[in-house]
Amino acid sequence: MVILLRAAVCAALSFWITAFSAFAQDVTLTSRDSRVEITGTLLGFDGEFYRLETDYGELTVDGSGVLCSGPGCPNLDDFVAELQLSGSATMGSILMPALVEAFAENTGHQTERRVDGPDEFTYLIRSKDSGKLAAEFHFNVSDSDEGFADLLADEADIVMALREIRPDERARAREAGLGDMTARNRSRVLALDALVPIVAAKNPVRAISPQALADVFAGKITNWQVLGGPDAPIDLHMPAAGSGLAQAIDDLVMMPAKLTLTESMARHDTLAELAAAVVDDGLALGLTAYAERQGAAVLSLTGRCGFSLDASRRTIKTEDYPLTAPMFLYYPARRLPQIAREFLAFTRGPSAQIVIRRAGFVDQTPEEIAVEEQGNRFANAITVAGLETTLEELQRMANTLTPMARLTTSFRFEVGSIRLDAQSRSNVEQLARAMEIGRYDARRLMFVGFSDGDGPAQANREIALKRADAVRRAVSEAAVAANLDRVVLDIDAFGEAMPMACDDSAWGRQANRRVEVWVR
């Protein structure tokens, strides 16, 4: 009986494996001289290259050299490129549609938006001249978690995220053959936003320290009187749990303070609802996106040293505002259809930057800020100078930088690491491309390192100088097509001589550890 049962199971298993193999081998690619033949599951076709799962692993094959046979073969005459985008609702509902429509207009196409479900829609992109369908861009808008999950399940080509990829997601992506998602050309910052604390205009409180902000949302501070306001309870408002912005709040506000969020708060499905609730409640404090502050008053971030930082397009672009929240695109190490590659290239260009600004977000176009437009930075440097920051060093800094202008492109490092953070890695590519097209030919770029005030001043300056040199080398290596003989790349460092924020918090120290770019 046992033998018969085993035989039956083996027969069934053998049939299932055979059937599965027959189904999996849905296409065969044959070289034009018929000498090479590859059979496997068609994972994708971009109009030029086939992507197959085979017995030898995942292969990419040039379509011009093979003939395709089998039920899975695409129609080469009426090929329609498909692109799957998944992730952040903020990006997918507002920013990306605006960019898709602008891209179509700029490339002689027209768009039609088709609603596929509550959180799904498709842009049909057609030629204006012939009306022929060229591409379908499918959007699944939910949150960053869902976007990365779809990527790992091979159900998305591009992830829209309001946070960096997590270490476990990065490891699973490697295991799935998607490459290192933090490597060069695997991710980029599309635009910038920021977390801002908001109150009603009639609320007398106008500033809060990052530590106090974390204490409030952890439930440790519950009365406005502690913050200099009336003797009244603080009503808290937050984005929906699990959203990319809520995760950014955990990363940027709560984790540096080693605190967790209290449960005593109102959650909102949309940021418009959140802002409206705060405006209507004079005793409310909310955390939202800079682009969605609407009619609410935004609190300045301050510290015990007296420095104050306000969220603005310029301070967000330079990352001087400590709660800057980059908007990421992640894509695996595989070819995308040509029209998709053209779209991604468009999103880096000047036309796309205008669209990003009009959508209410902060664009990535480098700007030059003259010294007289930089506020009280030099005055603050003199005010907080310690015994180790000499007058001679302050004069050297002023004499070096005053004839130059600061670029809004800045570089910062991961906490406790010499590795550039995600936004800075994107900035390396951006500055390198500008050098490749000759934007800084016959000019001088100086990478200037600054540090926090922990430790001896001379040691801090040496560390800052090494970081400046590391950034210079990274940009030089990335600018492969640039003629580096046409631009002067210098480095210098002034250590702790020009702090952006108070050193009494992790946020302040992180803001102070930076490499700026100055141009002349």
Question: Does residue 357 lie in a domain region?
Answer: no
| DSSP letter for each residue of 302-323 | E-TT--EE---HHHHHTT-STT
For residue 60, give Cα distances in angstroms to 38, 105, 177, 372: 11, 32, 13, 54
Give phi and psi for 346, each to the nearest 5.
-60, -40
400 in the same domain as 457: yes
Whole-number Å distance between alpha carbons of 401 and 99: 37
- The answer to whether residues 114 and 55 belong to one domain is no
Residue 117 pairs with which residues in a beta bridge? 120
Whether 77 is covered by a domain: the verdict is no
Tens digits of per-residue pLDDT, 193-214?
999 999 999 999 999 999 999 9
**Residues 224 and 155 occupy one common structural domain:** no
- Give kind and range of the element (H or E) at residue 506: helix 506-512
In a domain, 485, yes or no: yes
Pairing of strands 444-450, 488-495: parallel
User: Can you list the residues of the chain whose pLDDT is less than 70?
Assistant: 1-25, 416
pLDDT at 233: 96
The one-letter code for the residue type at 132 is: K
pTM of the model: 0.79
Total domains in the fold of the chain? 4
Residue matched to tokens 């081998």: 25
In a shared domain, residues 31 and 121: no
CATH of the domain at 400: 3.30.1330.60
Nearest-angstrom CA–CA distance, 302 and 213: 10
Instruction: Point out the domain boundary residue: 128, 159, 186.
Output: 186
Q: How far apart are CA 115 and CA 111, in angstroms?
A: 13
Examine the domain organization and report whether 153 and 287 are in the same domain.
no
CATH of the domain at 14: 2.30.30.100
> Looking at the domain assignment, is residue 360 inside a domain?
no
Residue 361 lies in a domain: no
For 311, residues 6+ apart whose C-beta sits below 8 A from its C-beta are 194, 196, 290, 298, 321, 323
Task: Answer yes or no: do 513 and 396 share one domain.
Answer: yes
**273: CATH:** 3.40.190.10
How many C-beta atoms surround the C-beta of residue 285 within 10 A?
27
Identify the pLDDT of residue 109: 95
pLDDT of residue 416: 66
Q: Does residue 108 share a domain with residue 60?
A: no
Q: Is residue 324 part of a domain?
A: no
Give domain status of residue 339, yes or no: no
Q: Are residues 370 and 500 in the same domain?
A: yes
Q: Are residues 378 and 500 in the same domain?
A: yes
314 torsion bin: left (phi>0), alpha (psi -120 to 50), beta (else)? alpha
CATH of the domain at 134: 3.40.190
Residues 437 and 495 reside in one and the same domain: yes
Residue 353 lies in a domain: no
Domain end position, chosen among 16, 43, 69: 69
Q: Are residues 86 and 49 in the same domain?
A: no
- Final residue of a domain: which of 69, 92, 108? 69
Whether 380 and 496 share a structural domain: yes
pLDDT value of position 24: 44
Whether the CA torsion 407, 409, 411, 412 is positive or negative: it is positive
pLDDT at 196: 96
CB-count exposure of residue 477 (10 Å: 0-12, 13-18, 19+): exposed
pLDDT digits (tens, 9 = 90+) for 320-330: 888 998 999 99
Range of the domain at 11: 2-69
